[in-house]
Amino acid sequence: MGAAEKKGAARVQKDSEDLSRQRLQAIVLADSFTTRFRPLTLERPKVLLPLVNIPMIDYTLAWLESAGIEEIFVFCCAHSMQLIDYLKKSQWCSLVRTIVSHKSTSVGDALRYIYEQQHTETSQIQGDFVLVSGDTVSNMPLAELIQQHRDRKKRDEKAIMTMVIKKQSRLGIGSDQLFVAVDPVTKQLLYYNEGDNNGEVCLDKSLLDTGVLVCNDMLDCYIDICSSEVLSLFEDNFDYQHLRRHFVNGLLVDDIMGYKIFTHEIQSSFYAARVENLRSYDMVSKDIIQRWTYPYVPDINFSGNHPLKLGRRGIYRVSDAVQSRSADIGASTVIGYGTKIGNGSKICKSVIGNGCSIGSNVVIQGSYIWNNVTIEYGCEIRNAIVCDGVKIRAGAVLQPGVVLSFNVVVGQDFVVPAYSKVSLLQQPTKEDSDEESEYADISNGTTHLLSGVNNLQMESKTSELDPDGAGYIWKVCDSVHDAEWKHSIVPIPMEKLADMAQAMDGDGIEDGSVVPPSGELKSDTDSINTDANDPNDDDYGYFEREVRETFLRAIEEDNNVDHITPLINSLRFSYDMASADCAGAIFYSMMRLAMDTQHNSTSELYRNATSIITKCKGVLGFYVKQIDEQIEVIMKFEEMCQESAALSPLFVQIVHFLYDKDVVQEDAILRWGEEKAGADESDKVYLNQCEAFIQWLKEASEEEDS
């Protein structure tokens, strides 16, 4: 008896030892699965982009190492070779193991891949792990937090994740606004909402029983302490893509198995932030210069970098910098090794990399100049990012918000317009499933690179940086609804801020006036009822509207419409619609989007339409496998043309385009033509327009037959 007890006690002890001996592991996602840093990420993985002259991932790895993490898995996707090479040469090669998957297009895919690997290899993720992305800059301690997480997990099996949040002192980090609700006592996360465009935060009534704390001033650091269940949850829910939008909200809203997420607010003395977009790149850089991230600051060697010397007013530079006496270096500036600065240049609040040569009378303000950049005399650079190897010829001006990618050459006296992005690579027009990732074919890239300089002359209309320049100015993507200013490194203009607040308030007021006084409550419910009744009369109309909203949301949110297919499928089943109806509704949404996007001429509208069709072809293609469905698309389009004068002249062109893109087959067009042939004359307007095209199709098929 006594022995048995002893044994039990020993086992308990062993268990706890096991737990404490468990290696601290971390997964670093070295791919953000977004396109925010394009065009820079076409040539180099995002995590290797320098942040105050040190690659981003070095900050993450140095922090994880010092926080006591014993094993780090780096998940590589885009440009994996570059990254693996870099890691091999770095001081962390013993600590880091790389996982490579080129197929992953989202965090969900990545975690599923890791889960699968877990079974094939022996020593993989065991138990709890820290999940961060490779662009995290932090100096917070982790050991204690992991212990807290484990303790909580022991008490409550369902507490599978601890999410780190930080109070944000300044607003406007450029990402979407985040609203979270937590339990004031237990700190359990109850609600998570990032950037939906609704003017209201909608909390379930059941949350209110205990009281909740709704926060807007919190920053999600994307540092998560996860238990092993997280991986298997991703495996089980194969449609989870985004870590927050799908996984966190999935747990909160759908209440899967009662799993709970807790939050941990870090003390204000520690730092944690993520470089999500150019604006946060700017913010984090400034924080590093202002030493919030200590010990990860430029004057300390933490990743094999050459430490710089910190002078007064926050100026970091080497002691023997080659610098003209008359050059004026302002506050909060970093100047790298071997950089020469000419006479009378003014530099402030900027970061200059190694080996740059800056001519005389150059003005650089609030900009990030990377390595080996040549800037000739008299240039003016404000709030810009200039990558490695760029040459800026004399007198050129970079207006605020410009991004110059690798090896771009800006011609003499050329003015690069505000917010433009310039790259030697052409803007990818073929956007398939890969577009979400930063992944770009290297071989593809080189052909572009070669042709880049030549093409420049030919395509002088859209991409020109002066005769002696090299590079393409990228068109601003038409689906970018939140304008460039939101994400660039330029401070948000005052009037935009006012607009934003106004817009936010505007919708609030409207609904404010709608709320009836107590005496009229009844009428209100009546109106809701009629509202609810409406769609019953017109199921298809309602379905179409929902599809359109889903579609627009997908476009707005992440630019990748491919994963709305499951959403549309679910709508389809809930409304009991045929596949043809889906095709019609999606096509309608696409055309409406094209029409709503700003255009001045019919040709511009055509361009909008074609670009959207190209982009969303995948989704549409899913529903137009049958001839009938294709006919439905054509009929739908015909209907739309009848309603909109702007669209009607484009009918043939767009049908032709659809044909080119294999969305509709010739059979469908021919059959549509036959069906329509018997219709009234007024109904045949578009058929007549198409006559030549149909004729051509017929001839083509006859030729083929013969």
Partner 1 sequence: MDFQVVILAGGFSSTLFPLVSKEVPKALLPVANRPVLSYVLDLLESNNLKDLIVVVEGEDAALKVGGWISSACVDRLHVEVAAVAENVGTAGALRAIAHHLTAKDILIVSGDIVSDIPPGAVAATHRRHDAAVTAMLCAQPVSGPSESGGSGGKDKTKKPACEDIIGLDSWKQFLLYIAKGTEIKKDTRVKKSILCAAGKMELRSDLVDSHIYAFKRSVLQKVLDQKPAFRSLKQDVLPYLVRTQLSQRSDVFSDQSNVEENGNGNGKNNMQNNEVVLSQILSNASSPSFHQVYESGLDSRKTHKCCVYIADESKYFVRLNSIQAFMDVNRDVIGDANHLSGYSFSAHHNIVHPSAELGSKTTVGPHCMLGEGSQVGDKCSVKRSVIGRHCRIGSNVKIVNSVVMDHATIGDGCSIQGSVICSNAQLQERVTLRDCQVEAGYIVCVGGEHKGETFARK
> Look-up: residue for tokens 């991986």?
231
Give me the least distance between CB of 223 and partner 1, in Å please: 21
Residue 480 as a binder of partner 1 (CB under 8 A): the answer is: no
Q: Among residues 94, 101, 136, 93, which one has the least CA distance to residue 117?
A: 101
Q: Give 202 or 532: the residue with its C-beta nearer to partner 1.
A: 202
Residue 208 as a binder of partner 1 (CB under 8 A): the answer is: yes
116, 144, 151, 204: which one binds partner 1 (CB under 8 A): 204
Beta sheet of 357-358, edge-to-edge order: 322-323, 340-341, 357-358, 374-375, 391-392, 409-410
The one segment of 223-231, 343-351, 494-502, 676-684 that binds partner 1 by CB under 8 A: 494-502
512, 536, 576, 643: which one binds partner 1 (CB under 8 A): 512
Residue 253 as a binder of partner 1 (CB under 8 A): the answer is: no
Other C-beta atoms lying within 10 Å of the C-beta of residue 528: 10
Write out the two tokens for 138.
């932090």
Note whether 647 and 641 are within 8 A (CB).
Answer: yes
Residue 502 as a binder of partner 1 (CB under 8 A): the answer is: yes
Residue 482 as a binder of partner 1 (CB under 8 A): the answer is: no
Residue 217 as a binder of partner 1 (CB under 8 A): the answer is: yes
Q: Which 255-284 residues touch partner 1, going by CB under 8 A?
A: none
Return d(Cα 418, Cα 397) in angstroms, integer. Answer: 10
12, 93, 213, 442: which one binds partner 1 (CB under 8 A): 213
19, 95, 203, 310: which one binds partner 1 (CB under 8 A): 203
Q: Give 498 or 646: the residue with its C-beta nearer to partner 1.
A: 498
Strand pairing report for 309-310 and 315-317 = antiparallel
120, 319, 518, 536: which one binds partner 1 (CB under 8 A): 518
Give me the least distance between CB of 501 and partner 1, in Å please: 6
Whether the CA torsion 14, 16, 17, 18 is positive or negative: it is: positive
Residue 325 as a binder of partner 1 (CB under 8 A): the answer is: no
Q: Give 17 or 510: the residue with its C-beta nearer to partner 1.
A: 510
Residue 645 as a binder of partner 1 (CB under 8 A): the answer is: no
442, 504, 677, 700: which one binds partner 1 (CB under 8 A): 504
* C-alpha distances in Å from residue 677, one per residue of 233, 368, 659, 692: 55, 64, 20, 14
The one segment of 82-90, 346-354, 461-469, 493-501 that binds partner 1 by CB under 8 A: 493-501
According to DSSP, residue 356 is labeled: -
Residue 674 as a binder of partner 1 (CB under 8 A): the answer is: no
Residue 215 as a binder of partner 1 (CB under 8 A): the answer is: yes
505, 526, 549, 639: which one binds partner 1 (CB under 8 A): 505
Q: Give 70 or 217: the residue with its C-beta nearer to partner 1.
A: 217
Size of the site for partner 1 (CB under 8 A): 39
70, 116, 200, 683: which one binds partner 1 (CB under 8 A): 200
Distance, CA of 244 to chain centre: 12
Query: Beta strands of 486-535 (E only): which ranges?
Result: none
* C-alpha distances in Å from residue 173, one per residue of 296, 493, 673: 21, 13, 54
Residue 214 as a binder of partner 1 (CB under 8 A): the answer is: yes
Tell me which H or E stretch contains 374: strand 374-375
Q: What DSSP string describes 406-474?
A: TT-EE-TT-EEPTT-EEESSPPP----GGGGSS---HHHHHHHHHHHHHHHHHTTTT--S-TT-B-EEP
Return d(Cα 153, Cα 653) in angstroms, integer. Answer: 61
Binding site for partner 1 (CB under 8 A): 171, 177, 179, 181, 184, 198-205, 208-217, 497-498, 501-502, 504-505, 508-509, 512, 515-521
